[in-house]
Structures are given as structure tokens and as C-alpha cells.
Amino acid sequence: MTRNFPRLDIQDRWFESGSGRLYVRAWSPESAVSDTPIILLHDSLGSVELWRDFPAALCAETGRQVLAYDRLGFGRSDAHPGKLPLDFVAREAEAGFDAVRRQLGLGRFVAFGHSVGGGMAVHCAARFATDCAALITESAQAFVEDRTLAGIETARELFTDPAQVERLARYHGDKAAWVLDAWIGSWLSPEFATWSLDAVLPQVHCPVLALHGADDEYGSPAHPERIGRLVSGPARVEVMAATRHVPHRERPADVLQRVAAFLRDIP
């Protein structure tokens, strides 16, 4: 059910990224407690719309502006010009993320990424370390785990049902097939098997909150533990019991409370 959040200003914009237009939505509180916005990075099949009412709730709970954008090839953004490169997790920091920051004239920010967006948020925090006030990962993968691959294999079987692809097309239009291949094809590629965040995590110096569901079908608690162990800044690892891959949808009030508490002392 969609909740109503009074006194939030919501604006939609499109920006040129150099490779195509990107769609951005901003939720702004009537009176912000901080000038440092939260930038959301979506998951492998995600989009601005698929965050549903979480960004508005996050804005209301934290008193901060919240920004979300569709990566190139997803949602309302333009189609990707080709096959997704296998360095796509690292590349997003200097591609769509940097384009959005420059177009909006943003300085300091909080990076918040879900699933593969969490890995991208790690790279954003490392690449723009001077400006990243804090990093929040939710259900992020830090390496290629057997559980991750098994979850994707299960999803591949699910998407042999045309009805599931049609459902995905509600959010991605005629880009839905590309979105599926960008996820399944990339993660199951033998060339991607050695991917990890190990090299970039020590470059993260800001405070970190790593949230993860204990029953996440796409990754065990070894992922947030690895993030917390390898970053250079202070880290808080919180594994949520009886929770799967989308904590912000399964236990929204709990996630909001944890994030708000984490950000309370961050200007």
C-alpha cells in the first residue's frame, strides 16, 4: 500500500550523461536537517519506480533530500548502447552517478545502494571519498558466492515464464530483455567469477552501515561482514533475522529506523 507523506516536494528531471538521457527523481522535505542528500542506487532489475514509497519514507524519516535515478538501460532512462561491460559495478561511479552529481551540482552526499547497487555505492564512496559523508549498503554482494549464483539460476528459470518478463516490462518497457541479460548474463559469465569488492573496500574511509537479511537468497551474511572488515572507516554490520533480499520492502520500518539512527550524527 502506498503511504502519503505530506509536505514533501517531489521533482522529476532528465539529464544527458554523454551516453544517453538519465531519469532522476528527488524527494525534498519542507525543512531539511542537513544539506547532504541521500543518493539511491537500485538493484539489478530495479528502477526509480521499483523503490516504491521507500524514498519518500526515507526522506520523511531522516529529514534529508533523497535522490534516485535509473541507470542507463533501466526504467525511464535511455536504452544502453550495447552489452553491459563486465566492469559495470566499478564503472557506474564514473558514469551515471558522476553525471547525476555534476548535473545537479551536488557536493557532499550519502551513498545508499541495494544489492548490486550496494557494490556500486562502495565504488562511489571510494571514487569521491572527499565528498562521501557516509555509505549504506543493503543486501550488497561483495564477491561471487555459490548462493548468489544459485539464486540467479532460480530466477532464470522463473523468467522463462513470459508473464514474468511482461511484468518487468511495466518498469523497463522494451528494454526488459536487455535488463534481464545485463543481470543474468553478467553474473553467470565465467569471466565474472573472480569479481569482488576486495580491492576497493579499503579506499572507503567514511562511516559505513552494512545491512543484510539473514535469509537473503542472493548472498550470505559473509558479504556484509566482508564489507565491514575491509573498509577503512568505522563500520556497523547489521544482519536482520527472518529477512530475505529486500529488507526495505520486507521490514521497512526497521530499515528506516536503523538508517535514521546511523545518519543522526552525520552532517
Q: Which fold has domain 8-263?
A: Rossmann fold (3.40.50)
Mean pLDDT of 158-169: 95
pTM of the shown model? 0.96
Spatial neighbors of 263 by CB under 8 A, at least 6 apart, are: 38, 62, 64, 110, 134
Task: Please report, as a single letter, which amino acid is at residue 191.
Answer: E
- What is the rounded average pLDDT for all residues in the chain? 96
Could you tell me the three cell numbers for 239? 544482519
Q: Confidence class of residue 6 from pLDDT cuts 50, 70 and 90? A: low
- Region 166-191 average pLDDT: 97
Query: Regarding beta strands 38-41 and 66-69, do their DSSP bridges make them parallel or antiparallel, or are they unpaired?
Result: parallel
Q: Report which of residues 16 and 220 the model is more confident about.
A: 220
How far apart, in whole angstroms, are the C-alpha atoms of residue 117 and residue 105? 22
Give the helix/strand (H/E) hosting 56: helix 54-62
Burial class (CB in 10 A: 0-12, 13-18, 19+), 163: exposed
Residue 29, pLDDT > 70, answer yes
The beta strand positions in the chain, using DSSP E, are: 8-16, 21-29, 38-41, 66-69, 109-114, 132-138, 208-213, 235-240
pLDDT at 64: 97
Q: Which residue has the cell 538493484?
A: 43
List, for residues 82-133, the tens digit of each pLDDT value.
999 999 999 999 999 999 999 999 999 999 999 999 999 999 999 999 999 9
Which percentage of the chain shows pLDDT scores above 70? Answer: 98
pLDDT for residue 49: 98
Q: Would you say residue 7 has pLDDT above 90?
A: no
Contact 139, 245 (CB under 8 A): yes
**Nearest Cα to 85, choosing from 217, 192, 232?**
192
Residue 261: the pLDDT is: 98
**Distance between CA 80 and CA 103 in Å, rounded?**
19
Model pLDDT for residues 121-160, shown as the tens digit of each residue: 999 999 999 999 999 999 999 999 999 999 999 999 999 9
Q: Where are the chain's structural domains?
A: 8-263
Residues contacting 224, CB < 8 A, separation 6+? 137, 140, 142, 210, 211, 212, 237, 238, 239
pLDDT over 60 at 1, yes or no: no
* DSSP tag of 184: I
Q: Can you state the angle between helices 54-62 and 252-263, rounded to 10 degrees?
A: 40
pLDDT at 2 over 70: no
